Amino acid sequence: MDYELTIDIDETSLRDLTKNFYKLYVFKGSIVDNSKGEPLVWQCYDKKEYGQTSKISWSEKYSAFISTQEIADEVTFSSITTKEIYLDQKVSVDPKGNLLPPSDGQKGCIEINNGTSDTNYTCGICQQDRNNNMVPMCAFPLLRGTQDTIIPIEKLALYFATETVNTGSVKEYATGKGIIIDLTGLNQRKVYYELGDGWKTTDSGVPGIPFEPGADLSSLLFTVKSTAEIVKLAQERIARKI
């Protein structure tokens, strides 16, 4: 399925945001069985890339990644090994640190298995961005002999900030006033932003959830469940066609 989020910005706010070099940061959510993960900057728009009306669009196209880099705030996952993957598939790490071709996995999930007995990795999912690049959007520890189960979901976090953080970088805490938008079961949503008042949804969908600077992004974007609960939830999502 293809998705699209329309962002409308108050004219005066747009002028002030661009004048002061604010960037728009975008993050995506997941349902996971590993509580030690962190979200990564998925998309970033500088002042020339957003306007009074902007659209963020994406498709359900994924790749799994592993890295020997450790998870720490603002670390950019630039040295990664990737493999294209779909829901319902599992990918495994071989003893040489390669990702094997995907095999059948748990329905509705992406599974990343560390088949080594002596090497810990970081793993996660990349999702296609507006330029058709696969960009890491989440990162989790993948200890030797373990497996992470992930359901990527259509939940976005948005905020404006002046700092420069690369896409694919860990971001533990928000640095701007933002909003969580849920597109589960939908393919289009609309949101409005005005300096001072902040963000609000302007469609008939579930109202967005506002958050303040300093908010813990992982708690906003990740739903942590046991593997058994994730399997059950995946079956329910398939039955509901979401």
> With contact defined as beta carbons under 8 Å apart, do 136 and 65 qualify?
yes
Reported as a single tens digit per residue, the pLDDT across 38-54 is 999 999 999 999 999 99
The residue written with tokens 């940061």 in the block is: 25
Helix (H, G, I), strand (E, B) or coil at 200: strand
Which residues fall within 8 angstroms of residue 86, CB to CB, at 6 or more apart? 62, 102, 110
pTM for the full predicted model: 0.96
The C-alpha atoms of residue 197 and residue 167 are separated, in whole angstroms, by 27
Distance of CA 242 to the CA centre of its chain: 17
Residue range 64-87: average pLDDT? Answer: 96
Structure letter (DSSP) for residue 102: P
Looking at residue 150, its amino acid is: I
| pLDDT value of residue 234 | 94
Structure tokens at 45: 């728009």
Per-residue pLDDT band at 57 (split at 50, 70, 90): very high
Residue 186 amino acid letter: L
pLDDT in tens, 153-198: 999 999 999 999 999 999 999 999 999 999 999 999 999 999 999 9
Could you tell me what percent of the chain has a pLDDT over 70? 100
CB of 190 within 8 A of CB of 39? no
pLDDT band at 123; cut points 50, 70, 90: very high
Please give the pLDDT value at position 131. 87
- In 3D space, the residue among 103, 138, 126 whose CA is nearest the CA of residue 31 turns out to be 138
pLDDT digits (tens, 9 = 90+) for 131-163: 889 999 999 999 999 999 999 999 999 999 999
For 152, the token pair is: 């990527």
